[in-house]
């Protein structure tokens, strides 16, 4: 028979994992947005990910031409001066976004 508190600990970690995975999936692996939506600090999200064996990068959206290992593969092979995206740097400013709005934080 296992220790009396271990069942509770397992249930608590399962709930934490479910909530954190949902936040990371909602915000496409963005740690900052997930932390704000949960009302916790970024460092707490990092610690929870490490403790619960969650890889936030798994939830990040990759571009079609991006290799699975990261954002551009070998840094020596990347273009040091990529051309700007259509619409300029502020193309998304004021426009629709694919992420839900972050909750406002009281006192700010």
Residue 11 within any structural domain of the chain:
yes
Residue 68 within any structural domain of the chain:
no
What is the pLDDT, as a whole number, of residue 62?
75
* Domain tally, the chain: 1
Residue 13 within any structural domain of the chain:
yes
Residue 44 within any structural domain of the chain:
yes
Positive or negative CA dihedral for 6, 10, 13, 15?
negative
Record the pTM: 0.56
Average pLDDT value for residue range 2-29 = 91
- How many residues does this entry show for the chain? 108
Query: Where is average pLDDT lowest: 11-25, 29-43, 61-75?
Result: 61-75
Residue 69 within any structural domain of the chain:
no
Residue 16 within any structural domain of the chain:
yes
pLDDT digits (tens, 9 = 90+) for 25-65: 999 999 999 999 999 999 999 999 999 999 999 999 876 66
What is the pLDDT, as a whole number, of residue 104?
66
Measured from the Cβ of residue 57, the count of other Cβ atoms closer than 10 Å reads: 14
Domain extent, residue 13, equals 4-59
Residue 73 within any structural domain of the chain:
no
What is the SS3 assignment for the chain? CCCHHHHHHHHHHHHHHHHHHHHHHHCCCCHHHHHHHHCCCHHHHHHHHHHHCCCHHHHCCCCCCCCCCCCCCCCCCCCCCCCCCCCCCCCCCCCCCCCCCCCCCCCC
Q: How far apart are alpha carbons 63 and 71 in whole angstroms? A: 9
What is the pLDDT, as a whole number, of residue 75?
45
| Whether pLDDT at 73 is above 60 | no
């Amino acid at each position: 028979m296992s220790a009396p508190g271990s069942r509770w600990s397992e249930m608590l970690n399962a709930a934490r994992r479910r909530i954190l995975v949902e936040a990371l999936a909602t915000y496409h692996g963005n740690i900052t947005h997930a932390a704000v939506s949960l009302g916790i600090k970024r460092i707490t999200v990092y610690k929870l990910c490490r403790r619960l064996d969650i890889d936030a990068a798994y939830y990040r959206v990759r571009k079609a031409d991006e290799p699975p290992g990261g954002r551009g593969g070998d840094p020596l092979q990347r273009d040091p001066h990529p051309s700007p995206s259509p619409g300029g740097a502020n193309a998304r400013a004021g426009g629709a976004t694919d992420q839900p709005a972050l909750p406002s934080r009281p006192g700010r």
